[in-house]
Amino acid sequence: MKTARACLILALALTPMASLAQIRRLPTDTELKAGYCVAVERTQLENLQAATHNGGADRADAEQQAAAIKALSDDVKRLDAYLSPKYWSIEPKPLSEAAGRGLADLESSDAEPTTCRPSAVGQGALPAQCAAQAPASTRLRSCIGAPFLPY
C-alpha cells in the first residue's frame, strides 16, 4: 500500500514536468529570421575562412578578409546568443526550414546580377532594383549586422 501511494505521488509530481518538456511554441518572425541568418552567416564564415586558409591573397586582401571574418563571426555569436536560450521552447521544424531557405538563397544568389549580391553592398546597387531582380540577394543582405535583433 505504501509503495503504491509513493508511486502515485511520484507519478503526479513528475507529470507537470513531462508535459512542460513537450510544450513547444512556434517561433516568432524574429526567431525565424535569426534561424535563417545564422545558417547563412555561418556558411559564409566557413567559406571565407576556407578561402583565407588557402592563401594567395595580398596584404590588403588579407586585411579585408580578416575584417569580414570578424564581422561575420560577431554576427554569428550574436545570433547564437539570441537563439540558444530559446531552442528548448521553440518548435525545431520551422527553424530548420528557415535555415534551409537561407542555404538555398545562398546557392540561388549566384545566378543573380552581381551588383545585387550581398558582397556588393555600398557599390552602387539600388535596393529597389535589386528587390525585383535579385530577391535572394535582397534577403541575404538583410542579415548583415543582424539589425532585426532586439539587442
pLDDT of residue 115: 63
Taking 90 as the threshold, does the pLDDT of residue 126 lie above it? no
Lowest mean pLDDT among 50-64, 101-115, 137-151: 50-64
The whole-model pTM stands at 0.74
Res. 134 pLDDT band, cuts 50 70 90? confident
Burial of 85 (0-12, 13-18, 19+ CB in 10 A): exposed
pLDDT at 4: 53
The DSSP H or E segment spanning 4 is helix 2-22
Query: What number is the average pLDDT over the span 124-140?
Result: 71
pLDDT at 13: 57
pLDDT band at 63 (very low <50, low <70, confident <90, very high): confident
Cα radius of gyration (the chain): 22
56: number of CA atoms within 13 Å, CB side?
A: 5
- DSSP-H helix ranges across 84-122: 92-108
Q: The C-alpha cell of 118 is what?
A: 550581398
Compute the average pLDDT of residues 84-95. Answer: 93
Q: How confident is the model at residue 98 (pLDDT cuts 50, 70, 90)?
A: very high
* The pLDDT of residue 76 is above 60: yes
Q: Is the pLDDT of residue 27 over 70?
A: yes
Q: What mean pLDDT comes out for the span 119-135? A: 60
Say what percent of the chain tops pLDDT 70.
70
Most confidently modeled of 37-41, 66-70, 135-139?
37-41
C-alpha 24 chain-centroid distance: 20
